[in-house]
Structure 1
Amino acid sequence: MSVAFSQGQFVVSPYEIQCRLKHNAIVLQAMLDEVRFLRPNLLLVADAGVVKWSIKLDSEEQFAELLELTGLSAEYI
């Protein structure tokens, strides 16, 4: 499944998530067990040890859609 956002699109599979950035052809990829969704800032954070990245999501609706697609829960910071 894919979810469009202002900087590109997210592609979600049963085991991983990809963030494809349209302006510079960069693809960020992480296994779902390395991903966290943080509220209230609407952040998707991937932490695979030495490689880390994060993306601020556009809206609460997009945040909720990605939570549903990944089956993950949001964390409050």
Structure 2
Amino acid sequence: MKLNISGGYLLVNPRELQVRLQSSQVVMTVLAEDIRLLASARLLLADAGAVRWQLPLDSDEQLQQLVEFYGITPE
């Protein structure tokens, strides 16, 4: 599944999620089990031990799509 976000898009599949930021040509990848979602701040959090990053989502709809796709309960 492809979700458009400000400045790029998310490529979502059952095993991993990729963030592709078009302006800087950055690609960030996280395995599905390392994804967290913060509902109050609409944040996608990647925590794979030594590698951590976060990405603000544009809308509650994007957050809900990720919740439904991965079956994650947002914090």
TM-score (norm 2): 0.94
Moved segments of 4+, more than 3 Å: none
Name the residue aligned to 1:7.
7
Query: How many residues of Structure 1 are paired with residues of Structure 2 in the alignment?
Result: 75
Does 1:38 pair with 2:33? no
Task: Structure 2 unaligned segments of length 5 or more: list them.
Answer: none
Q: Cα offset for 1:51?
A: 0.6
CA-to-aligned-CA distance 1:4-28 (integer Å, 9 cap, x gap): 0112100011110000011111000
Larger relative CO (CA 8 A, sep 6+): 1 or 2?
1
Q: Equivalent residue of 1:65, what SS? A: helix
Among all aligned residue pairs of Structure 1 and Structure 2, give the percentage whose two residues are the same amino acid: 39
How well do the aligned residues superpose, as a CA RMSD in angstroms?
0.9
Q: Equivalent residue of 2:53, what SS? A: strand
Q: Cα offset for 1:70?
A: 2.1
Q: Cα offset for 1:53?
A: 0.5
Distance in 2 between the 1:70 and 1:6 partners? 21
Contact 1:42 1:63 in 2 (8 A): yes
